[in-house]
Amino acid sequence: MRGFAAESRERILTRRSFLAASAIAGMGLALYSNEIARHEFEVTERTFRLRRLPPQFDGFRIVQISDIHLEEYAEEFYLREVVRRVNALKGDLVLVTGDFVSRGPLTESTSMSAAARCAALLSRLSCPERYGVLGNHDAIVGSRIVRDHMENNGLPLLVNECVRIARGGAHILLAGLDNASEGHPNLSMAVPKSPDAPVILMVHEPDYANNVVTHERGRMVDLIVCGHTHGGQVRVPGIRPLALPPLGRIYTEGHYLLGRTQLYVNRGIGTVGLPFRWNCPPEITVATLREATR
């Protein structure tokens, strides 16, 4: 018959073994989330049917990336790989929806240096038509600084502006808003009063879409593309993400219908706060435009 002391030692060893195994599993998960999952980006294919889309744009492909956050914690080698993959997709238009850099854990000089290096890496995008907007981190680092770096490297940023994207004698309209958190978005400047073609609007923060669709100009917008949320970075199945930023807590990722306006939220490329992703891979979106059937 086993003694009480022997049984107690066995229970202690079992408890210690369980705790040790749990610690090892936790370290393994952290290592996977840091070194592997946050670099394993996913290419998401989506089709968007737009009213009044000219036949020349049927099948037009837009490649979207967002939230690079170079240096916190996205590395240059990682962004080079993202650019390589974007180029391989051969989109007709590339959109970058803000937060090229970070401000918070990084020093001001590091953030400014990262903006220059990010712009230089994005200059390798081969698509001749590419545009972006400012994110909240970009505005904190310095909107003018980030904008100058991007535009000097061939990536115009739309700040309450609209441009025509032409193809075969027809066109669509691409608009971009100033950052909604730190800037001064102005829909009356960005969206024409009587647009003569479908309007695609870039704005960094997805929850600002509620402001868009209640504005008289915003009701002219067919598709809004955003980033900002990172999809929550860490997602436990069946549970809403716990870490979401202001203006990113209603629309967290993916496709939404807001009346006649569609919204798409890209999960971003980089990470903030902690260098972890789990069950929420970084995303490159390929949006194919089709004419709405009704």
* Residue 252 phi, psi dihedral angles, 5° rounding: -100, -35
**Per-residue pLDDT tens over the stretch 66-113:** 999 999 999 999 999 999 999 999 999 999 999 999 987 778 889 999
For residue 31, the model assigns a pLDDT of 40
- Is the separation of the CB atoms in 189 and 84 below 8 Å? no
Region 245-269: what's the mean pLDDT? 97
Locate 46 and state its tokens: 């989506």
Q: Which CATH number does the domain housing residue 114 bear?
A: 3.60.21.10
What DSSP assignment string belongs to 61-125?
Answer: EEEEE----BTTTB-HHHHHHHHHHHHHHT-SEEEE-S--S--SSS-HHHHHHHHHHHHHHHTT-
For residue 23, the model assigns a pLDDT of 35
Residues 19 and 154 in one domain: no
For residue 2, the model assigns a pLDDT of 55
Residues 189 and 270 in one domain: yes
Residues 171 and 263 in one domain: yes
Task: Show the 3-state SS of 133-176.
Answer: CCCHHHHHHHHHHHHHHHHHCCCCECCCEEEEEEECCEEEEEEE
| 3-state class (DSSP) for residue 206 | helix
Cα separation of 69 and 207, whole Å? 20
Helical pair 76-89 and 108-122, crossing angle rounded to 10 deg: 30
- Is the separation of the CB atoms in 267 and 280 below 8 Å? yes
Residues 119 and 64 in one domain: yes
Which residues, 6 or more positions from 100, have their beta carbon under 8 angstroms from its beta carbon? 68, 69, 70, 114, 115, 118, 119, 122, 132, 135, 137, 138, 146, 150
CA distances from 251 to 24, 140, 200 (A): 35, 23, 18
**Per-residue pLDDT tens over the stretch 116-151:** 999 999 999 999 999 999 999 999 999 999 999 999
Residues 109 and 252 in one domain: yes
The band of 25, judged by pLDDT with boundaries at 50, 70 and 90, is very low
Residues 154 and 19 in one domain: no
Residues 99 and 2 in one domain: no
DSSP H or E run through 215:
none
Domain count, the chain: 2
Query: Burial code of 160-174, b = ≥16 C-beta within 10 A, e = fewer?
Result: bbbeebeeeeebbbb
Nearest to 175 by CA among 128, 221, 112: 221
Helical pair 136-152 and 108-122, crossing angle rounded to 10 deg: 50
For residue 105, the model assigns a pLDDT of 75
Residues 165 and 222 in one domain: yes
Residue 224 CB neighbours (<10 A): 27
What DSSP assignment string belongs to 22-60?
Answer: HHHHHHHHHHIIIIIGGG--EEEEEEEEETT--GGGTT-
Residues 202 and 144 in one domain: yes
**Per-residue pLDDT tens over the stretch 202-253:** 999 999 999 999 999 999 999 999 999 999 999 988 888 878 999 999 999 9
Which residues, 6 or more positions from 69, have their beta carbon under 8 angstroms from its beta carbon? 99, 100, 101, 102, 137, 268, 269, 270, 271, 272
Nearest to 46 by CA among 231, 223, 269, 277: 223
Nearest to 92 by CA among 49, 61, 122: 61
Q: What is the largest CA-CA distance in the chain?
A: 93
Question: What is the Cα Rg of the chain in Å?
Answer: 22
Range of the domain at 8: 1-39
Residues 137 and 183 in one domain: yes
Region 31-46: what's the mean pLDDT? 77
Residues 24 and 60 in one domain: no
For residue 8, the model assigns a pLDDT of 53
Residues 15 and 102 in one domain: no
For residue 178, the model assigns a pLDDT of 98
